[in-house]
Amino acid sequence: MKMTYAAALEAAMFEEMAHDPRVYMMSTSVPAALQDAYGPVRVKRMPISEATMTGIAVGSAGCGFRPVVHWRSVTFAFMAFDQVVNQACKIRYMFGGQRDFPIVFRASYGNGTRSAAQHSQTGYALYAHLAGLKVVLPSGARDAKGLLKSAIRDNNPVVLFEPGRIDPLEEDVPDDDDAVPIGVADIKRTGTDVTVVALGYMLYAALDAAQQLEQEGIQVEVIDPRTLVPLDVACIRRSVQKTGRLIVVDESAPTCSMASEISAVVAEDWDCCRALRAPVRRVTMPAVPVPFSPPLEDFVLPDAARVAEAIRALVAYT
């Protein structure tokens, strides 16, 4: 069945709430169909206080529930950063693993949506830095549904990041109970000349570039990591050992980014170092707030042309 990203996430919520009565949702705006089906106790429309929702989620998870908190935007998620950093991430460890804390936090990020600087941030690298937290970044509707199901069933806190500009795209989503495993990357396109690891919405720029370069005889392997923590390091390293070249495409700023982390896990591996035929390359946005001006926003964000340029440079490197 063809579904948008948002519809796939809602389908996952319907299925998991039917499967497990401990699952409930909180958000400042809730899907009407979901609330009609499960009532206001399990589908709670909350005041605009991300900190309150997050604190309630941590406490109720410790009491045996499985909350899903929809922060809506990563910008709003920062209002609850203390509850995540000092409570959700650490509390299972501080209890010595004697109690599970299954929580899902959902947040969309808005690059490319003409939302200006305060609503155009990725944020996932900040959360990936927090020990005790899993971070997933589905790039399409199929993975969004499957990863949300896995996140709800996980006994640890998980943050699911949703690319804000992806929703108009539809994808075939299976009408079954399949969950996508956390920590497993997906090779979207095989190739032998260069490995491109593309995060979230950047997958589409990478695939467009790979299709263009096929006409030039360049075979690009494109990997969608899907999960940032835990990262499927083995998949990425195997690909780099085969191609000898790595480009990471990330629409965050480069400093302390996931692009930097992925580059590091390749650089630290001796087999990858021996296989590399060119320096690792990051394609990111610059370290600037995202402009509101559409031409300027398009200028700072990575696109297929920039990815293709980076691939050509690495293939030509001697």
pLDDT confidence of residue 64: 96
- Residue 186 has phi, psi (to 5 degrees) of -130, 120
At 225 the pLDDT is 98
Nearest 10 degrees: CA dihedral of 12, 18, 23, 29? 60
H or E, element range at 275: helix 270-275
Q: What is the pLDDT of residues 21-30, one digit of tens each?
A: 999 999 999 9
pLDDT of the residue at 318: 67
| Predicted TM-score of the model (pTM) | 0.95
One-letter amino acid at 200 equals: G
Domain 2-172 and domain 186-316, same fold? Reply is yes
Quick: pLDDT tens for 267-284. Answer: 999 999 999 999 999 999
Residue 166 has pLDDT above 80, yes or no: no
> Rounded distance, CA 6 to CA 3, Å?
8
Position 16, amino acid = E
Catalytic amino acids?
Answer: 119
In the chain, the amino acid numbered 12 is A
Report the mean per-residue pLDDT for the chain.
Answer: 94
Q: Is the domain defined by 186-316 classed in CATH 3.40.50.920?
A: yes
Rounded average pLDDT over 49-74: 95
Kindly list the domain boundaries of the chain, sorted by start residue.
2-172, 186-316
% residues pLDDT > 90 (the chain): 87
Which residues are within 8 A (CB) of 114 and not within 5 positions of it... i.e. 6 or more apart? 292, 294, 297
| The CATH number of domain 2-172, selected from 3.40.50.300, 3.40.50.970, 3.30.70.1560, 3.40.50.980 | 3.40.50.970
Report which of 160, 162, 139, 166 is spatially closest to residue 148, judged by C-alpha positions: 160
- Counting every residue, how long is the chain? 318
Distance CA 62, CA 281 (A): 43
Beta strands in 155-285 (DSSP E): 158-163, 170-172, 186-189, 194-198, 220-224, 227-229, 246-249, 281-283
pLDDT tens sequence across 77-126: 999 999 999 999 999 999 999 999 999 999 998 777 888 888 888 999 99
Rounded CA separation 80/178 (Å): 31
